[in-house]
Amino acid sequence: MNRISKLQLAALLLIGDAFAIFCLHGRICAMTAVGFSSGSLIQLLLALPLARAYDRGRTLADCGTIVRLVLLTYVLVWGGALFAMLREASEVIYIPYERTGIFGQLAVAGLVALVCVYVSSSGIKALARSAVIAAGLGAVCVGIVVVSAGFQSDAGNLLRPTESSLWRELMRGFAASGNLGSFVVLLGFTADDRTDTAALYFTCKAVLSGVVLFTAVLVTGGIMDVLSFPVISAAQLSQPFPVQRTDSLFLVVFSVFAVYTAAVQASAAEYLIARTFPQLKRFRCTLALMILAAAGAVMSAPSQYTELYAAAALTALLIVPAEGLLKGGVRKRERT
C-alpha cells in the first residue's frame, strides 16, 4: 500500500490551508489570527479520537457507505470552492487571459484542472513527495514576504477596534479548514503514528495561520475597509526593495499552491469514489477533477456561508469516530 510520512501529510494539507488563507475574503483583524490559530488547536483535540481509531486499525473501508458519501460530498464541495476562490482571487492577481472574458476564464480553469489531473494521477506518493518540495519553496517565499512585510507594518493596526468576536473568527477558521475532509482520508495513508501526525499538522497549521494573518493585519490594518483579499494585498504591499517589485514570488506560490490544493482534494475524492463506487474506479481521477471544476464554475467562495462550511468541517472531523461509537454501542447492546 502507498504510505506517506507525517511530514508529507502535513505538507500536503498545509499547502491547502495556506491557499485558503491567501484567498480569505473580507475584513481581518488580530482576533482573526487568534481565532484561526486557536481553532486549529481545537481541531487537534477533535481529531484525536479519529487518530486513535486509525491507530487501532480502523480504516475508511470499514466505515459505512453513508460516511464515505458524506466525506466525498464535502471533499468535492470544498474542491469546487477552491476553484471558485481561484477565480475570485484573480481579480487582484494578474493571470494572463483571465480577464479576457468567459473563454479566458475557462482556459485558465481548464489549464489548472489539466495540471491537477496529471499531478493527482501520478499517485499519492509522488504527490506527497513533490508537496514537501513545493511547501519548502513556498515557506521560503512566504518567509521573504513576511520579512518584507516587517518594513511596511504598523503595530497600531493590531489594536484597531473591530466588530469581530472570537466566536465569529473561530467559525471563519473552521469554515476555511476545508482540508479536514482530505485529512480524514489521507490520515489513513500515513505510516507513522496517527496521533503524532495529527499533532504535527494542526500545530503547524496554528503557527502558519497566526504568522500569516498577524502579518497581513500589521500591513493592511489601516486600509482594511477597501480591500477584498487582505492577505494577497498584504503580500503585494510588502516589497523588500525600494525600486524592485517581487510580486512574482507570491504569484508563483499562489499558482503552485492552487494546483496542489486541488490535486489533494482530487486524490481524496478519487479514493472515496473508488471505495464507494467501484464501477467508476477506472475514471475516478478525471471524474473527480471534472466535478471539482464544474462545482467551481457554479459556486461562489465560501465566505458567504461561513456557518455552513464550519458545520461541514466539524462533521467531517467527527463522523468516523462517531460512527465507530455508534456501531460499538449497537454491538454491545446486541451482545447483552
Partner 1 sequence: MTRNERESLPILSGLRENIARIKQLSGGSSDVLVNEFTTGGIACALICCEGMMSSQTAAEMILSPITGIAPQGSADALFRYIQTELLLSTDRPEARNYDTLFRLLNSGFAVLIADGADRALAFGVQGYATRGVQEPSGEGNIMGSHEGFTEAVRTNMSLIRRRLKSPELVMELSVKGERSRTDICLCYMRDRVPKRLLDRIRRSLEDIRLESVLSTGYIRPFLEKRSFELFSSAGITERPDVLCSKLIEGRAAVLIDGVPYAITVPRLLCESFHTLDDYAYKPYYAVFGRWLRYGAFIIAVLLPAVYTAIVMHHPELLNSTLLMLLADAEKSAPLPILAEALIVLLMYEMIREAGIRLPKPVGGAVSIISGLIIGDAAVKSGLVSTPLLTMTALAVLGGLVVPDLAPQVTVLRLAFLIAGGIMGVFGISLLACAVLTNICATEDYGFPFTAPLSPFTAAGAGDTAVRLGMRRMLRRGFTVEAYHEQDK
Instruction: Report the interface residues with partner 1, using CB under 8 A.
Output: 5, 7-8, 94-97, 108, 111-112, 115, 118-119, 122-123, 125-127, 129-130, 132-134, 191, 243-248, 251-252, 255-256, 259-260
Three cell numbers written together for 227: 480591500
Phi and psi at residue 26, in whole multiples of 5°?
Answer: 95, 180
Phi and psi at residue 67, in whole multiples of 5°?
Answer: -60, -45
* 1/102 with CB nearer partner 1: 1
* 28/112 with CB nearer partner 1: 112
Q: How far is the CB of 217 from partner 1 (least distance, A)?
A: 26
Q: How far is the CB of 194 from partner 1 (least distance, A)?
A: 16
* 107/314 with CB nearer partner 1: 107
Q: How far is the CB of 154 from partner 1 (least distance, A)?
A: 25
C-alpha separations of 237 from 79, 159, 231, 251 in Å: 29, 20, 10, 13
Q: How far is the CB of 81 from partner 1 (least distance, A)?
A: 20
| Ranges of H-type helices in 58-101 | 65-89
The residue among 304, 10, 321, 320 whose CA lies nearest residue 171 is 304
Decide if 112 contacts 259 (C-beta within 8 A). yes
65-89 vs 102-121: helix crossing angle, rounded to 10:
130
* 57/96 with CB nearer partner 1: 96
* 47/108 with CB nearer partner 1: 108
* 8/37 with CB nearer partner 1: 8
The CA dihedral of 211, 139, 251, 125, to the nearest 10 degrees, is -130
Tell me the C-alpha distance between 144 and 248, whole Å.
12
Q: How far is the CB of 172 from partner 1 (least distance, A)?
A: 28
Residue entry with cell 523588500? 240
C-alpha separations of 320 from 198, 279, 280 in Å: 15, 24, 24
* 112/316 with CB nearer partner 1: 112
* 70/132 with CB nearer partner 1: 132
Give the CA radius of gyration of the chain.
20
Q: How far is the CB of 255 from partner 1 (least distance, A)?
A: 4
Three cell numbers written together for 304: 458567504
Q: Which amino acid is at 189?
A: F
Q: How far apart are the first and last CA of the chain?
A: 38
SS3 4: strand
Q: How far is the CB of 271 from partner 1 (least distance, A)?
A: 18
Q: How far is the CB of 268 from partner 1 (least distance, A)?
A: 17
Q: How far is the CB of 189 from partner 1 (least distance, A)?
A: 13
* 126/308 with CB nearer partner 1: 126
Decide if 106 contacts 83 (C-beta within 8 A). no
